[in-house]
Amino acid sequence: MNRIVEKFTQLRNAGKKGFIVYIGAGDPDLLATLELALAFDKAGVDILELGVPFSDPLADGLVNQLAAQRGLESKTTPPKLLETIVAIRRQSQIPIVLYIYFNLIHKVGMEKFIADGARAGVDGLLVLDLPPEESDNYEALMRKNGLCHIYLVAPTTPEARMELIVKRGSGFIYYISREGVTGMQSKVASNLASQVAKIRAHTKLPIAVGFGISNPEQAKLVAAEADGCVVGSAVVNQIAEHGKSPELVAKVSAFVKSLADAVKKL
């Protein structure tokens, strides 16, 4: 069974919510990515999203744009990232999703990229700029290789299109709780419960909510409504703050554990 599917099945059976963390791969370097992944697994992270560095990350706010830039500066490429995932797999079975822009897949060739990812130990792809209407071949290749193709639903998505998206997705549905780009917010969107309920009416897939969650209180509020919450920019900001400090992994994983604990207390 795919690790993402297996993880959400375990969580549902235990009556627990999922905690997903996003970081930029190769920020500040790939050794740090490896060490952070292993530390996050121990800290209670259920699924790890790795942003593949790209020169034009249009869905991302400043914090994650700068992480992508640092990843490019550390010479992180998709093949090098897959080598790092192979190294993670020697010590951990944490489910891994690549958060990626389609140009990077197209450059390698879709069939090869997906097959290489599956071999390395990737469990799913979240392709930011590939709409379901143009994904027939992509979805077939993902199914063939046992990977989850994860789609985004936004607050502005019309209900008819939402129904189409969630029927095409696998693994989980990623609900973007706010309009605009990634980034930390001071409060949770007021219409979160009604939006999650609207998505649930069309799918049995787990619903994970992200974009803007930045502290344990917000993580707990989101997890109470959804099947899981995603924290990205707040963790990436910690990585930026501690940079190449010898305490990088300890400091960031302590912050991540505070978020995981808040989600798991539900």
60 part of the active site: yes
- pLDDT tens digits for range 16-32: 999 999 999 999 999 99
27 part of the active site: no
Cβ-Cβ contacts under 8 Å for 213 (sequence gap 6 or more): 177, 185, 188, 219, 222, 229, 230, 231, 234
Residue 117's pLDDT is 98
Residue 212's pLDDT is 83
pTM over 0.75: yes
Residue 184's pLDDT is 55
What are the structural domains, with CATH classification, of the chain?
17-264 (3.20.20.70)
Query: Catalytic residue among 41, 46, 49, 227, which?
Result: 49
Confidence of residue 180 (pLDDT cuts 50, 70, 90): low
Contact 99, 50 (CB under 8 A): yes
- pLDDT tens digits for range 91-124: 999 999 999 999 999 999 999 999 999 999 999 9
Residue 67's pLDDT is 96
Query: Catalytic residue among 29, 41, 46, 60, which?
Result: 60
Count the Cβ atoms, other than its own, within 10 Å of residue 194. 10
Contact 238, 22 (CB under 8 A): no
Confidence of residue 179 (pLDDT cuts 50, 70, 90): low
- pLDDT tens digits for range 219-243: 999 999 999 999 999 999 999 999 8
